[in-house]
Structure 1
Amino acid sequence: MAGLHQSEFDNPVIRWIDTRLPVFTMMQKEYGVFPTPKNFNYFWNFGALAMVVLIIMIVTGIFLAMNYQPNADLAFASVQHIMRDVNYGWLLRYTHQNGASMFFIVTYIHIFRGLYYGSYKSPRELLWMLGVVILIIMMATAFMGYVLPWGQMSYWGATVITNLFSAFPVVGSKIVTLLWGGFSVDNPTLNRFFALHYLLPFVLVGVIFLHVAALHITGSNNPLGIDVKSPQDTLPFHPYYTIKDSVGIGVFLTIFAIFIFFAPNYLGDPNNFIQANPMQTPADIVPEWYFLPFYAILRSVPDKLLGVCLMFGSLIIMFFLPWLDTSKVRSCRFRPLYRPTLFVWVLACLVLGACGAHKPEGIWVTLSRIGTLYYFAQFLVIMPILGKLERPLPLPESISHPVVGPRGGGPLPTGAAAKPMEKA
């Protein structure tokens, strides 16, 4: 019939829908026959893992919201009601609670993969920047969600973090009052945070849609960091990478389940099992583990405004990474000088995480300052200079070349110079 999309599917129901709304054709194009580099390793699983965790978080969050009371007098008791009285409420809460940590674990590994293989470089700059936006929205959502149980650490964490905005001159106090909905962290604050915590995951879905759309326009990077040069360099996404992703998802869900059923509170703070008390300040106020490096950067300097600027700057600087790295080579496999500096940067982040978990005194202050200095030096000094001075190893001619060899006989050593194919 004229005007209808011509569907290629055999199933009559799918074909009827697809001729009128070609969603199945689009899915087949973008996730079926979509060409992807043939040399992906398991680091490329973590994007799919992040999508799986996000879906789990949204589903469990919706069911938790059905039983939660965003009221300062009732919130703590409603969480206990979910745990004790709601059918499988304990499972919903532990899945949601540990899912936040799992989300950050897979996201941080996903970011490391992008840094190691140069996935932020041309033509994927906007793809990377959308990824940074996703990280910031994730952090805002997680912070607001941590406040909702209305335990001691929830209450005082909200008090400390929201007070940071008061460091900004002129507008700082107005921002704090707007966040609080009054002159202290109280019932209006909890209502604001609950509404935003429920809304932001759907905003996150929209940004992820743009992230994936940008990926499908520019195509995926690969471990060699070189462009696809021929159809022989690619494989269709299905079934090759759907199966590979399924293996990674199975392993991940097993680890996730171990935390849920055997160590559900391992990553939490015991103080959050005590109801919020504005008259009693905990001995140590620390955020969740995934915020600790940024918390250490905040406390590494004595000036409050400078600390806040450094903390936010540690995220904002990521937007400019495609231009701060001046090297023309993407993958660290071929950058012998830059690769160890990246691992030192990862070590600095881990040290900052340990510093954030301890009181800002003694050796921890010194380590925080060293870690903060190296964190910013990596982006502002080391990457621009090494990009100009480093002599990368020779790149292979194509993605297929290191896999099948010059005559299809065997693999070449990683980083070996590719020789032209001999004529028969």
Structure 2
Amino acid sequence: MSFPWAEHYTPKHPVMKWVDERLPLPRLVYNAVGSGYPVPRNLNYFWNFGVLAGLALTIQLVTGIILAMHYASNAGVAFDSVEHIMRDVNSGWLLRYAHANGASFFFIVVYLHIFRGLYYGSYKAPREMVWLLGVVIFLLMMATAFMGYVLPWGQMSFWGAQVITGLFAAIPVVGEPVQTWLLGGFAPGNATLNRFFSLHYLLPFVIAGVIILHIWSLHIPGSSNPTGVEVKGPQDTVPFHPYYTAKDGFGAGVFLILFALLLFFAPNALGHPDNYIPANPMSTPAHIVPEWYFWPFYAILRAFTMDLTIPFTGLVLIPAKLLGVLAMFASILLLFFLPWIDTSPVRSGNYRPLFKKFWWLLLVDVVVLGYCGGAPAAEPYVMISQIASAYYFAHFLIILPIIASIERPLPLPGSITEAVLAKSKFKGEREALPGMGSDTQPTGVA
């Protein structure tokens, strides 16, 4: 988005001026994260999670590249190569734990980022492309994480690969050939490890590329904000730097402290103990589960226990396994259509009292699905998964459209500044607002 009141980069140093004239990279950086990029003045800490996701990806890239220098993608030595990294490589234990727990932290901040977008309507026009690219990033993350989980070649790695690739076998006609193609054989082995390692190394760079598109598409309409009201002038914005670089820096500090606490004091808390047992095709674990960040979708997969049949004939239309696979993928693909499912003209959940209640119900529902996904495939967890799965789809396909048609939103503020000043007046803190002068213009904005 072009802001006529934004500061324009004019390099003064001769070297920077020479570089900018031939390759406008300094100008690009300045306009993307510097004073040349005005952002809404009322962003809260829920807008930190995009930057934190970028920080988590950076941790994954750096640690992953170094780990790849010592890892051997061969079924005979893969497990031992991981143990070699842990025991013999200088700081190898730190790199391995940072990479494994970094994946969990990456998903934590992305899930928070997604639910922030759901609450504040960040998927609504004119930011549909930002949302769609975000869902693509999420899918790429899931594929990357699954293949990375296979690489240590422990018990859960082997059987996780067997179970997840086995889902494709449920597809009629082409399912089994697709599974064989994915594995490079009839069971996980050397070919599987080579393929998964290659793709696991490649996909994070693809994610980084899509993130660039994600940020680019965000800069066209500009950032959303808690009120959902569009920017109307310079009084509604402050420069990204120094206001939000400082705010993001504080968030990054909290993120790194929590990451360090997990890394140094409970590095195996989010992992599965069976993955410290070498893969054994002749010994099936009692309870096969993926990593925790897949549990909600795994619960949806396991919720389907009965075939879809033609009444009174017993003819099977769709087997239960295929129903589960279709539902699991549909639960993610639904997010692609969300900008057109929720037709309410009001973006922010702060001004949608009915929507807010059901947003909380969705959050609880996903937590319940996650718990059931990590629990054994037995009652009452299966029944709870079925109820929670039904509500998940009902929320998006039934409840959201109904809410959009019957809800009476609260009055929206006339502008971002009006909402900020009203809140400040209520708290008696108008004079303490950062960046506010006596004429209510934010300091540092041209």
Q: Which interval holds the TM-score relative to the shorter structure?
A: over 0.9
TM-aligned CA distance change 1:409 to 1:349, over 3 Å: closer
C-alpha contact (below 8 Å) 2:120/2:349 kept by paired residues: yes
Which amino acid is 1:214 matched to? Answer: S
Aligned-residue offset at 1:411: 6.1
* Secondary structure in 1 matching 2:238: strand
2:312 corresponds to:
none
1:180 corresponds, among 167, 172, 183, to 183
Contact 1:299 1:360 in 2 (8 A): yes
Match of 1:36, SS state, is strand
Give the match's secondary structure for 1:337.
helix
Relative contact order higher in (CA < 8 Å, ≥ 6 apart): 2
Structure 1 Cα separation of the partners of residues 386 and 114 of structure 2: 23
Contact 2:155 / 2:277 at 8 angstroms: preserved in 1?
Answer: yes
- Say whether residues 1:325 and 2:325 are aligned partners: no
Aligned partner of 2:32 in structure 1 is 30
Per-residue displacement from partner, 1:77-123 (whole Å, max 9, x unpaired)?
00001011111111110100100000000000000000000000011
Q: 1:61 and 1:360 mapped to 2: Cα distance?
A: 33
Point out the more displaced range, 8-17 or 291-300.
Answer: 8-17
Tell me, in whole angstroms, the C-alpha distance in 1 between the residues paired with 2:330 and 2:395: 14
Q: Which residue matches 2:292?
A: 289
Whole-Å Cα distance in 1 between the matches of residues 70 and 15 of structure 2? Answer: 38
Task: Give TM-score, length-normalised by structure 2.
Answer: 0.89
**In the alignment, residue 24 of structure 1 is paired with which amino acid?**
P
- Tell me whether 13-22 or 275-284 shows the greater mean CA deviation: 13-22
Secondary structure of 1:218's aligned partner? coil
Question: How many angstroms does 1:410 deviate by?
Answer: 5.4
Deviation at 1:228, TM superposition (A): 0.8
Partner of 2:245: 242
Aligned ranges for residues 13-412 of structure 1 at < 5 Å? 13-32=15-34, 33-302=36-305, 303-405=320-422
Q: 1:80 to 1:381 in 2, by over 3 A?
A: same
Counterpart code for 2:361: V
Is 2:9–2:30's contact at 8 Å kept on the other side of the alignment?
no
* 1:140-180 deviation per Cα after TM superposition (whole angstroms, max 9, x unaligned): 00000000000000000000000000011111111101101
RMSD: 1.4
In structure 2, the gaps of 5 or more residues are 1-7, 306-319, 429-446
Q: What's the offset of the Cα at 1:402?
A: 1.9
For 1:125 and 1:63, locate their aligned partners in 2 and report how far apart those are by CA, in whole Å. 37
Shift of the alpha carbon at 1:7? 7.3
Q: Distance in 1 between matches of 2:135 and 2:232?
A: 29
The percent of aligned pairs where both chains have the same amino acid is: 60
Structure 1: stretches of 5+ with no match in the other structure? 1-5, 413-424
- Cα deviation 1:341-384 (Å, max 9, x = unaligned): 11111101111111111112111111101110110001000000
If the length of structure 1 is used for normalisation, what is the TM-score? 0.94
Distance 1:105 1:306 in 2: 28
Q: Which amino acid aligns with 1:299?
A: R
User: Partner of 2:39: helix, strand, or coil?
Assistant: strand
